[in-house]
Amino acid sequence: MQMLFRQIPSLDRLLKQPQAVEFIEKFGYSAVVKTLRLLLEQARVSIQQTQTLPSFFADETTLFTQLEHQLTQSQKVELRTVFNMTGTVLHTNLGRGLWSEKAVESATNAMRNNVALEFDIDAGKRSHRDLYISQLLQQLTGAEAACIVNNNAAAVLLMLATFAKDKEVIVSRGELVEIGGAFRIPDIMAQAGCKLVEVGTTNRTHLKDYRNVINENTAFLMKVHTSNYQIQGFTSSVSEEELVALGQEFHLPVISDLGSGSLTDMKLLNLPAEPMVQQKVAAGVDLVSFSCDKLLGGPQAGIIVGKKAFIDQLQSHPLKRVLRCDKVILSALEATLRHYLFPEHLCQDLPTLHLLTQSLENLQEKAECLKNTLSKRLDSRYILQIEVSQAQIGSGALPTERLPSLALTITSEKQSDLLALEKQFKSLPCPIIGRFSEQKFWLDLRSVAQFDQLIEMLSLNP
């Protein structure tokens, strides 16, 4: 064992070798020293546990090859790009929606340069970072003002903390939703320091249920859009218009959490209907919150639009500074919203809407191209077929609705072969993520972006 320990070179000697000097210039002295120390320690542990040296200590050339490999790996970003072929267009686990080219360009510009984030160039003095987006949203929604935070859950928290601390908030029992990660509306209320007052039953809530519990400690009436589930059958709910009338009677504001939120009429795009922000503003709702990275098609952020007096209070609350967005997100969001000034081009400009509105003819062409490419790659164990599929929007939007789609399905006599193929797909330079169903591996064409790059990768990586 002592003979083995003597074969371990010293750190100082290794650092003097030409390859080490080269790596120091490329990766830096600290990284090279740290990695070499780790390799030397691995050698000592290996001798103690197995009475052998690791294979990379066969000679110094092999050792420096291992050193370069580990230094190179340490520079790789672990958040990898993938091809989403699950059939869920807005897949939360795969990063939800993609940004438009203008949003990417605007964000990149903000990364590389100083921007007038909180500076009025004409007046030569400080301004508010939400100013440009607030002006845009006034134009797009008819609201008096807007406030931008880092996601819709933050938007709800800010509204509750600002107006309902130590007070009561009335919500229908059927609207106490849980979003991803076991994050629940009642939990947000608890964090904001307000008391939840549930009214009605799971499936039926009436206006009188709200009226009967209003008291001097009521902060506001709240409406929550159940975007991630749906109750059907014997149901009844109270509209925003009815709540606004009741709120005006008792001088109480009404807020609405739209969740996904939409700034365009989905029915005009031949998609399932979704409540529009403009409709809630027109109904007189005082504050409306919604996400930016779902149906809106932008970066992760949360928007609150509504009456200026209420928005001003949100902007001055200490939590706003905690929850505010940086220049990159605000730049991408502004670019995304500007697409809505030209509604006829939305499906061309916004990747999310483009994927959702693709024709079956287009999907058929892609499916045939993918089948042809994979048939050259896979052996006779695998059977490829183009089949009708049911895609979904995802991220809690319209959970019961399905979009007609096409998928390439792969079957094999042995399930182990399919599992091996899935592993092979995940090991590609850009992993392919599909889904298993009916003992088949499904590659849905509606959810995949960058299709040409997918085919190129499959052609170049046998």
pLDDT at position 233 is 53
pLDDT in tens, the chain (462 residues): 677 777 888 899 899 999 999 999 999 999 999 999 999 899 888 888 888 888 888 788 898 999 999 999 998 888 899 999 999 999 989 999 899 999 999 999 999 999 999 998 989 999 999 999 999 999 999 999 999 999 998 999 999 999 999 999 998 887 776 665 556 777 888 888 888 888 887 778 888 988 999 999 999 999 987 755 455 555 677 788 999 999 999 999 999 998 888 999 999 999 888 889 999 999 999 999 999 999 999 999 999 999 999 999 999 999 999 999 999 999 999 999 999 999 999 999 999 999 999 999 999 999 999 999 999 999 999 999 999 999 999 866 666 678 999 999 999 999 999 999 999 999 999 999 999 999 999 999 999 999 999 999 999 866
Q: Pick the closest to residue 449 from 435, 436, 430, 462 (CA basis).
A: 430
pLDDT at position 260 is 82
- Tokens representing 362 are 């287009």
pLDDT at position 234 is 53
pLDDT at position 111 is 97
The residues near 76 (Cβ < 8 Å, ≥ 6 apart) are none
Contact 161, 301 (CB under 8 A): no
With H, G, I as helix, E, B as strand and everything else as coil, classify residue 20: helix
Q: Return d(Cα 279, Cα 275) in angstroms, integer.
A: 7
Number of H helices, E strands in the chain: 20, 17
Q: Pick the closest to residue 448 from 333, 387, 362, 382 (CA basis).
A: 362
Q: Which CATH number fits domain 101-346: 3.90.1200.10, 3.40.640.10, 3.40.50.450, 3.40.50.140?
A: 3.40.640.10
DSSP 8-state class, residue 430:
S
pLDDT at position 461 is 66
pLDDT at position 398 is 62
Which amino acid, one-letter code, is at 286? D
Domain ranges in the chain?
1-75, 83-91+353-461, 101-346
pLDDT at position 177 is 66
User: Which CATH architecture does the domain made up of 83-91+353-461 adopt?
Assistant: Alpha-Beta Complex (3.90)
pTM here? 0.88
DSSP 8-state class, residue 173:
G
Contact 378, 421 (CB under 8 A): yes
Q: How far apart are the first and last CA of the chain?
A: 45
Contact 203, 173 (CB under 8 A): no
**What is the rounded average pLDDT for all residues in the chain?**
91
Per CATH, 83-91+353-461 and 101-346 having the same topology is answered no
Q: Return d(Cα 196, Cα 190) in angstroms, integer.
A: 8
